């Protein structure tokens, strides 16, 4: 309860500061992610804010930067109002995921009336997962040049991998619970593969450490196997 109160206090303070600093330039502020889903984890989760400005100027961005200094938990996603519709299309999978669990804190509900095209969602989901796979291979090969770069890469890209895997399942008609860990058995059943590596990486994200070369090799092998299963399942579903 104390954590929930502290998070809410941080959110309230950030919104009031944004309103004071940006005034009429602040078109909308939306809260999304774990703080709305109800599975915020202290020390792991961020407070995700979608901030839409009437004019995304350097001065406005500087004001937001200063507000974000209120707490290291605050994570802003900022855009100008004029670019909103374009961004909704180009990043349709991300925004479609955001709009499942969000709350308007100030201004307009920017998702009102927006419905992404299923065909576009399928294409962008495949693109995102293929991109993660290609970059995963390159990172594994090149990791000797940068210590711990492989660990940083997989942990930074785990949310993208997970959210797009979830999006693929939804587009295939699979209903998912709100908690990501509770989705793992459903993912394993649908894709027909072992998803335990994802649970291990979620734990590693909460307590980062350097992996041995043998551990990295095992993670790489299992992650690639998972991605192959997920991509093949989606392609099969969407071509029937």
One-character DSSP codes across 46-109: -EEEEEEESS--HHHHHHHHHHHTT-TTEEEEEEEGGGHHHHHHHTHHHHHHHTTSEEEEEE--
Bridge partners of residue 77, in order along the sequence: 50
- In tens, the pLDDT along 60-94 reads 999 999 999 999 999 999 999 999 999 999 999 99
- In tens, the pLDDT along 28-60 reads 999 998 889 887 877 778 899 999 999 999 999
- In tens, the pLDDT along 190-202 reads 999 999 999 999 9
pLDDT above 60 for 2:
no
Q: Looking at domain 2-107, what is its CATH homologous superfamily?
A: Beta Polymerase, domain 2 (3.30.460.10)
Residue ranges matching CATH 3.30.460.10 in the chain:
2-107
**Stated pTM of the model:** 0.81
Q: 118-239: what CATH class?
A: mainly alpha
Query: What is the rounded distance in angstroms from the CA atom of residue 28 to the CA atom of residue 52?
Result: 5
Residue ranges matching CATH 1.20.120 in the chain:
118-239
Q: Which residues contact 213 (CB under 8 A, 6 or more apart)?
A: none
């Amino acid at each position: 309860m104390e954590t929930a109160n502290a998070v809410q206090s941080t959110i309230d303070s950030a919104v009031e500061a944004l309103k004071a600093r940006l005034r009429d330039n602040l078109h909308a502020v939306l809260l999304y992610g774990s703080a709305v889903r109800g599975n915020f984890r202290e020390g792991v989760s961020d407070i995700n804010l979608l901030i839409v400005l009437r004019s995304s100027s350097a001065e406005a961005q500087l004001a937001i930067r200063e507000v974000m200094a209120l707490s290291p938990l605050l994570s802003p996603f900022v855009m100008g109002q004029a670019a909103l519709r374009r961004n909704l299309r180009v990043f349709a999978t991300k925004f479609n995921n955001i709009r499942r669990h969000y709350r308007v804190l100030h201004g307009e509900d920017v998702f009102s009336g927006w419905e992404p095209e299923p065909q576009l969602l399928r294409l962008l989901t495949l693109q995102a997962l293929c991109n993660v796979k290609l970059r995963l291979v390159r990172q594994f090969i090149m990791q000797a040049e940068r210590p711990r770069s492989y660990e940083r890469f997989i942990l930074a890209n785990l949310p993208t991998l997970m959210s797009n895997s979830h999006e693929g399942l939804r587009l295939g008609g699979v209903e998912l619970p709100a908690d990501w860990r509770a989705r793992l058995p459903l993912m394993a059943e649908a894709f027909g593969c072992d998803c335990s590596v994802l649970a291990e990486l979620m734990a590693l994200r909460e307590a980062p450490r350097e992996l041995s070369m043998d551990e990295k090799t095992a993670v790489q092998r299992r992650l690639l196997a998972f991605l192959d299963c997920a991509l093949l399942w989606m392609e099969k579903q969407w071509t029937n």
